[in-house]
Amino acid sequence: MTTTVRPPARAEWTVIALLIVLSVVPLIAGAFRLGELATGAPVTADNARFAASPLPVVLHILTASPYCLLGAFQFSSTLRRRRPRWHRVSGRILVPLGLIAALSGVWMTLFYAVPAIDTGFLTVQRLVLGTAMAAALVLGFVAARRREFARHGAWMIRAYAIGQGAGTQVLTHVPWTLLVGEYDELSRGLLMGAGWAINMVVAEWVIHRTLRRPRGVRRVPERSPG
């Protein structure tokens, strides 16, 4: 005879909290950028492209920020199990948010006059990963419509990992800044790429652990009476 034992809900909320913390610096940076645009801050070399064409960056910030925050709660199997309607409704909100965030990022990469340090390898990464994020969201949505829920979850985790790249990139930049100082085009591209790579490796680990075998349960033998 066996008894089903589920992992404590505390572990799920720890994951959610960490993902929200990971979003804090990008959220602050985005709010600062919106404040600059709203108050007509002086135009500098750093913000000239945003001042000249604010709509793409405003759309990017206003969709990427709630995408990262709301998306964190999708990692709770308890919420998915106990409130399936909430999961479906929030998912229908997250897909368009993620698509707009990804495609506006691609647009800015293609058409903004970005600083020289953000060109080259970093440009290629942004185009490839922005397109990949949009594709993952579409594939995840299609899988859900087909009721292929394991595949749906895998694609959504991959999309979130890409979208959460800015948070991890803060962590990859800090040690370099403290130990080395300024970075050039190559080091900037490598540091940004490292943030995405870390997220994608973790995403595939999560997919393997939670979606490709029974989720959150283990079997514990129970003694028979007598």
Q: Per residue in 11-24, pLDDT tens?
A: 888 989 999 999 99
Report which of 17, 14, 15, 27 is spatially closest to residue 167, judged by C-alpha positions.
27
Q: Report the alpha-carbon distance of residue 185 to residue 63 in Å, rounded.
A: 28
For the chain, what is the mean pLDDT?
Answer: 87
Write out pLDDT tens, residues 96-139.
999 999 999 999 999 998 888 898 999 999 999 999 999 999 99
pLDDT(214) > 80: no
pLDDT(73) > 70: yes
Write out pLDDT tens, residues 135-164.
999 999 999 999 999 999 999 999 999 999
Supply the pLDDT for residue 211. 67
Supply the pLDDT for residue 44. 86
Structure confidence at residue 77 as a pLDDT band (50, 70, 90): confident
Report which of 86, 59, 61 is spatially closest to residue 73, judged by C-alpha positions.
86
Q: Report the alpha-carbon distance of residue 137 to residue 81 in Å, rounded.
A: 22
Supply the pLDDT for residue 82. 83
Q: Report the alpha-carbon distance of residue 73 to residue 68 in Å, rounded.
A: 9
Global pTM value: 0.85
Q: Report the alpha-carbon distance of residue 172 to residue 186 in Å, rounded.
A: 14
Segment among 61-75, 81-95, 202-216 with least mean pLDDT: 202-216
